[in-house]
């Protein structure tokens, strides 16, 4: 899609793939509020780092937003009650990636303090302009502390604790905050809808984050298949033109400039390193982080959650999830409490169709097939995609024909066929030599392979089995 002149892309990822985006069933669907589920199961590890330490006992009455478990260390995140209700005995949740983690079950009370339009307004709606008037006067540490206390983690999937990204780092100063609105995974539209419906919150959160970590400029990257999001975010940040808004300096004490970068749609452009490369022209070194090149990356939903935490004092209890695919009757974008079973989301969307054969947590390129529909939604859940047999045309796997397509599409410049072979043979020395750990598990290689070799799956399993050095 080329878009209007103001939404035309200026850059795009050179590698990667362009699968059909299949976003149309939910791209125009306004976010709906899921009715409060009867029960939630809240995992104490929904993030990168150490599990949170439980602070509640069984049969304890808890309020919406009450702290259930506090962060255990710097790289950790607290979790909060996503409903008002009564806790039950500590349990174990099996996450979509197969990991078993401690969890707190809560039976919902009949009366909830927030529901329906009131809940929507509390999380995404309202007027943020008045609250954002004095961002430059706020104490940076207070902002980072509020984000930590709210249990905010990256909502794009990686679930890295956000307060860590907001900490000032004298040894590696940050000059740019990149707000990632690419949402390049097929089917998913949660970030798209957040940008369309809550752009002022996204921009407010970005400004708060930049105030906290000292970034001198903010770049919001959006792919050109989301022109409505581009327009909404531009309007929210008051961008009149790139030249007018992108180059102001922090040295004078002014607010950092906000620029919207429209990128040519390409998967996996939403990966942190790929987004930094395309939107900013900086190469994150192999094994390094965006921080190494002066950049912090935040997802747009994370940015909105930061605004809510700092400006409204609200913890992260809900998130937007896209429920879609040919295997679900009524695709929707839903605002749901963390800990809700996937089954409740599918029920709210008319349930699975008869021909649904697979339910994927996340998008089809990087997601995990769900073995149990009672698996809880976590802070990192961006979507659930129900696929039918027609979506899974899997002719039999054949031998590698050495065509090199997997190498051509790999955004990390790896040799997927070599790594997959090493993983299959459990030859860990060879796997390391071919940089298996640099793989971001984007699935491009498997998607492009004419021999239908499940390269990404083999590499993902290899990474899980790789002995620690």
**Binding of ligand SF4 at residue 273 (CB under 6 A)?**
no
Residue 405, interface with ligand SF4 (CB under 6 A)?
Answer: yes
CA distance linking residue 148 with residue 18, whole number of Å: 37
Does 410 sit near ligand SF4 (CB under 6 A)? Answer: yes
Q: How far is the CB of 322 from ligand SF4 (least distance, A)?
A: 22
Residue of 73, 116, 238, 404 interacting with ligand SF4 (CB under 6 A) = 404
Q: Which residue, 65 or 416, is less far from ligand SF4 as judged by CB?
A: 416
| Minimum distance from residue 265 beta carbon to ligand SF4 (Å) | 17
Out of 88, 109, 400, 430, point to the residue binding ligand SF4 (CB under 6 A).
Answer: 400
The reply on whether position 264 binds ligand SF4 by CB under 6 A is no
Residue 374: phi and psi, rounded to 5, are -85, 5
Q: The tokens of 419 are what? A: 């790594």
Q: How far, in Å, CA of 133 to CA of 114, rounded?
A: 27
Count CB neighbours of 301 within 10 A.
29
Sequence-distant (6+) residues with CB within 8 A of 164 are: 74, 75
Is 384 a residue that touches ligand SF4 (CB under 6 A)? no
Q: Is 403 in the site for ligand SF4 (CB under 6 A)?
A: yes
> Would you say the C-alpha torsion 46, 52, 313, 249 has a positive or negative sign?
negative
According to the binding rule CB under 6 A, does residue 459 interact with ligand SF4? yes
Is 270 a residue that touches ligand SF4 (CB under 6 A)?
A: no
Q: What angle do CA 121, 183, 36 make, to 5 degrees?
A: 35
Is residue 331 a contact partner of residue 25, using CB atoms and an 8 Å limit?
A: yes
Residues 100, 149, 316, 90, CA torsion sign: positive
Question: What gap in Å lies between CA 38 and CA 221, rounded to an integer?
Answer: 38
Size of interface with ligand SF4, in residues (CB under 6 A): 29
Other beta carbons within 10 Å of 74: 12
Determine, following the binding rule CB under 6 A, whether residue 416 of this chain makes contact with ligand SF4: yes
Q: Does 406 bind ligand SF4 (CB under 6 A)?
A: yes
- Cβ 362 to ligand SF4 shortest distance, Å: 14
Minimum distance of ligand SF4 from residue 427's CB (angstroms) = 16
Residue 254 binds to ligand SF4 (criterion: CB under 6 A): no
In this chain, which of 89, 354, 394, 402 binds ligand SF4, going by CB under 6 A? Answer: 402
Binding string, residues 417-456; x marks residues near ligand SF4 by CB under 6 A: x---------------------xxxxxxx--xxxx-x-xx
DSSP 47: S
Tokens read off for 76 = 């950790």
Cα 284 versus chain centre, distance: 20
Residues forming the site for ligand SF4 (CB under 6 A): 400-406, 409-412, 414, 416-417, 439-445, 448-451, 453, 455-456, 459
């Amino acid at each position: 899609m080329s878009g209007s002149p103001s939404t035309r892309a200026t850059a795009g990822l050179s590698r990667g793939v362009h699968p059909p985006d299949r976003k149309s069933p939910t791209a125009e669907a306004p976010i709906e509020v899921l009715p409060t589920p009867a029960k939630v199961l809240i995992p104490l590890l929904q993030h990168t780092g150490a599990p949170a330490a439980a602070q509640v006992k069984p049969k304890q009455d808890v309020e919406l937003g009450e702290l259930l478990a506090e962060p255990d260390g710097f790289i950790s995140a607290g979790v909060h009650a996503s409903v008002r209700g009564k806790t039950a005995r500590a349990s174990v949740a099996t996450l979509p990636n197969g990991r078993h983690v401690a969890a707190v079950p809560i039976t919902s009370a009949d009366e909830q303090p927030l529901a329906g339009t009131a809940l929507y307004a509390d999380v995404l709606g309202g007027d943020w302009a008045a609250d954002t008037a004095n961002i430059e006067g706020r104490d940076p540490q207070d902002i980072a502390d509020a984000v930590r206390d709210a249990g905010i983690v990256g909502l794009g999937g990686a679930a890295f604790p956000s307060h860590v990204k907001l900490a000032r780092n004298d040894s590696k100063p940050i000059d740019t905050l990149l707000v990632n609105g690419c949402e390049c995974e097929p089917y998913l539209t949660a970030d798209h809808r957040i940008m369309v419906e809550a752009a002022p919150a996204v921009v407010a959160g970005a400004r708060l984050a930049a105030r906290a970590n000292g970034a001198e400029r903010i770049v919001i990257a959006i792919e050109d298949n989301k022109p409505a999001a581009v327009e909404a975010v531009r309007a929210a940040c008051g961008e009149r033109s790139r030249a007018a808004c992108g180059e102001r300096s922090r040295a004078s004490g002014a607010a950092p400039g906000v620029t919207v970068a429209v990128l040519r749609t390409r998967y996996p452009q939403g990966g942190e390193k790929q987004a930094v490369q395309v939107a900013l022209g900086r190469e994150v070194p192999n094994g390094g982080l965006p921080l190494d090149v002066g950049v912090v990356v935040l997802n747009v939903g994370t940015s909105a959650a930061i605004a809510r935490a700092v400006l409204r004092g609200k913890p992260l209890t809900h998130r937007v999830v896209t429920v879609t695919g040919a295997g679900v009757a009524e695709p929707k974008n839903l605002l749901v409490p963390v800990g809700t079973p996937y089954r409740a989301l599918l029920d709210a969307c008319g349930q699975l169709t008869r021909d649904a054969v697979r339910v994927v947590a996340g998008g089809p390129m990087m997601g995990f097939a769900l073995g149990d529909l009672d698996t809880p939604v976590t802070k990192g859940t961006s979507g659930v995609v129900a696929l039918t047999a027609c979506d899974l045309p899997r002719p039999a796997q054949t031998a590698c024909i050495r065509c090199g397509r997997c190498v051509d599409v790999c955004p990390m410049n790896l040799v997927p066929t070599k790594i997959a072979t090493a993983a299959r043979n459990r030859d860990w020395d060879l796997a390391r030599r071919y940089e298996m750990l640099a793989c971001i598990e984007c699935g491009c290689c498997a998607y492009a392979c004419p021999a239908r070799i499940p390269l990404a799956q083999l590499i993902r399993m290899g990474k899980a089995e790789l002995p620690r050095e």
